[in-house]
Structure 1
Amino acid sequence: MSEPSMVHRVTVPAESAGDRLDRLLSAALPALSRTRIKALIEAGCVTRDGEPAPDPSAKVRADDAFAVQVPESTAAAPMAQAIPLSVTYEDDDLIVIDKPPGMVVHPAPGSPDATLVNALLAHCGDTLSGIGGVRRPGIVHRIDKDTSGLLVAAKNDAAHAGLAAQFAEHSIERVYRAILWGIPAPRTGTVDGAIGRSPQDRKKMAVVGRGGKPARTHYRVQRVYGLGAALVECRLETGRTHQIRVHMATIGHPVLGDPAYARATPARRRALGASGEAAAAFPRQALHAAVLGFRHPANGAWVRFESEFPTDIKKLVSSLESVER
């Protein structure tokens, strides 16, 4: 472990006896996110009487004295790459990006670079949030590679903690707009269904009866295109993997172009007439993160950002308008 740049000392008050270690430390050290506290504990950077502290869920005792060593940030494994970004908003605490379709958020097998992480490293440099002692963008939520739209990243641990808390309590305003196959009935509704790995295909998510995470999506039809498609607004209460894609497929109206959860069946193509082939050929899920609203973690002011459809979905909508009625 490298030399620490700072050591914080925390003594457990009597009223906090029995609390989880990570929860106690994140409350005592608000400049560090709970995610980072956990990473520091697991890395041996938190000690009690000179011995490494137990795991993050360990219960603390009154008068326990902990030392929290915060190492200097080290270079992130991903390399900075000068990739153009569409920046919707930026200040000293956070940055809001309008992500294009096709861009992966984090490096992963098959996508080692040219990700949003690489671009943010080049754009923000040393201002980025350090998490677990590693300097990297403080991304607190993700959107799929082929979903376009708004995403926020934190530039420091205090902002990261503030944003992460809002996501955890579901107070973030997140509105997506999607083109669906068919027309949902009723035209306004809520889909409740826990989401987990599909038992039939582990690469997919599904609404499951056991082992999933609670998920809720509110939807509202904004426009219909004949009998074959609809423009729908979806508001998230939760943010599970593939949530909108899975929930809309579950009610029989998957996102048009979705390679995992939708099929351009002959019946669906016929329902769109002359626009059916263009719709069937759309190369990605027609899903866009259009609105993002939250309390600014530095001053508590409500901020809200909007994004228009990117060019490819605009062209799709233009084609579908020929069957609108």
Structure 2
Amino acid sequence: MALNDGYTYREELGGRARGLTVLAYLTRRYGHSDEREWQARLDRGEVRLDGEVAHGSEVLRPGQRLEWRRPPWHEEEAPLEYELIYRDAELLAVSKPSGLPTLPGGGFLNHTLLSVVRRNFPEATPLHRLGRGTSGLVLFARTAGAASFLAEAWRNGEVRKRYRALASGLAEQDSYTITTPIGPVPHPWLGNVFAASPAGKPSLSEAQVLERRPDQDQTLFGVDIPTGRPHQIRIHLASAGHPLVGDPLYASGGLPRADLPGLPGDGGYLLHAERLVFPHPRTGGLLTLRAPPPPELLAADEPPP
């Protein structure tokens, strides 16, 4: 494991901080650490309030600036290579390997796609994200204008996304329109995790069979997702009775597994963002980008990339 550069987390306090001490606020706001751990960080001088070292007893008010200067830590290893798919003055598109997080979080900082892309393109801003275990296309803006244009295009449904997924079981139909709502449900480790939920948000996936593999009891799907809920394809195919092969979290029905709990970021499945179609921020014309899928997600009659 490599030691990273450390990171400073900053926030401007809102109304919920009013009247709390620094220690009480940090303990309530960031539940990943208990009061004893936060007090140890305060004692080491890692926390600052309005630029001054905080000791924990200070009473907070809205508008103050709170910082935690987290020292360098050892990150879990991850593949740090990516393939450049497209580049112009406004945009950058890359193919992310499975196992590399898109953005910082969950203990990852330097070992993220954002970090490795910005080594060569410091201006790049990701316009969406893929799960750590998902490979394929990630689109970046290189200008503020491009970022604004494409954010609006995403909101208006002008961006079309296609994935490939290897699922368990032999599909009885050639295509599936899946509308299972997705929202938070109880999880034994995390408190809540996104999954199939009647109280969730409306979601839509269109899945087409690309190949059935009877000898392995598997189906290769192409999946278009007009909506973009967390873990949508994993949840939707599972809700249709075809959880992804090797998925450690979602079982048939689209709920977290009861027998072998997994975490949302755990890998082991095969899911690839294969194609993006969207209007170009400068020309307005449709641009189609493709990232070749890994060999396991090719049908038998398809040539290797």
Q: Which residue identity does 2:236 align to in structure 1? A: H
Distance 1:152 1:306 in 2: 11
Distance 1:284 1:93 in 2: 34
Q: Give the Cα separation in 1 of the matches to 2:182 and 2:125.
A: 25
> In structure 1, what residue type is equivalent to 2:160?
E
User: What secondary structure sits across from 2:219 in the alignment?
Assistant: strand
Q: How does 1:90-169 map to 2 (within 5 A)?
A: 90-125=87-122, 128=123, 137-169=124-156
Structure 2 partner of 1:241: 230
Does the alignment pair 1:252 with 2:241? yes
Q: Which of residues 186, 194, 211 in structure 2 aligns to 1:205? A: 194
What's the CA shift string for 1:77-129, capped at 9, x where partnerless? Answer: x9xxxx5431100011110011111110111132122111111211112xx1x
Please list, as runs of the form range in 1=range in 2, the aligned pairs for 1:151-190 lying within 5 A after superposition: 151-190=138-177
SS in 1 for 2:186: coil
Cα deviations by residue, 1:146-169 (Å, 9 ceiling, x for unpaired): 100011011111101111112112
Structure 2: distance between partners of 1:205 and 1:149: 22
AA paired with 2:288? R
RMSD, matched Cα: 2.1
Unpaired segments of 5 or more residues in structure 2?
1-71, 73-79, 253-266, 301-305
Give the distance between the partners of 2:157 and 2:182, measured in 1 at CA: 16
The answer as to whether partners of 1:204 and 1:260 remain within 8 angstroms in 2 is no
| 8 Å Cα contact 1:88-1:97 kept in structure 2 | yes
Partner residue, 2:207? 219
Distance (Å, rounded) in 2 between the aligned partners of 1:301 and 1:97: 20
TM-score (norm: length of structure 1): 0.59
- Distance (Å, rounded) in 2 between the aligned partners of 1:243 and 1:114: 24
Check if 1:232 corresponds to 2:221. Answer: yes
1:262 CA drift (Å):
4.2
Kindly provide the amino acid, as one letter, of the partner of residue 193 in structure 1.
Answer: T
* Secondary structure in structure 2 of the residue aligned to 1:120: helix
| CA deviation profile, 1:275-309 (whole Å, cap 9, x unmatched) | xxxxxxxx621111111111001110111011222
Q: Which residue of 1 aligns with 2:82?
A: 85
Q: What is the match of residue 303 of structure 2?
A: none
1:263-286 Cα distance to aligned partner (Å, 9 max, x none): 9xxxxxxxxxxxxxxxxxxx6211
Instruction: Report the Cα offset of residue 203 of structure 1.
Output: 4.9
Secondary structure of residue in 1 paired with 2:152? helix
Bigger helix fraction? 1
Give the unaligned 5+ runs of structure 1.
1-77, 129-136, 264-282, 319-325
Asked if structure 2 preserves the Cα contact closer than 8 Å seen for 1:220 and 1:232, the reply is: yes
Runs of 4+ in structure 1 off by over 6 angstroms are none
What residue is the counterpart of 1:29 in the other structure? none
* 1:285 pairs with 2:272: no
2:256 alignment partner in structure 1: none
* Residue in structure 1 matching 2:178, options 191, 196, 200: 191
| Other-structure match for 2:57 | none
SS of the equivalent of 2:119 reads: helix
Contact 1:256 1:262 in 2 (8 A): no
Please report the TM-score for the alignment, with normalisation by the length of structure 2.
0.63
SS in 2 for 1:166: helix
Amino acid at match of 2:134: T
State how far apart, in whole Å, the 2-side matches of 1:200 and 1:151 are.
Answer: 29
Shift of 1:310: 2.2
Distance 1:109 1:179, change over 3 A: closer
Structure 2 contact 170–214 (Cα < 8 Å) conserved: no
The amino acid of 1:303's aligned partner reads L
Aligned residue pairs: how many?
A: 205
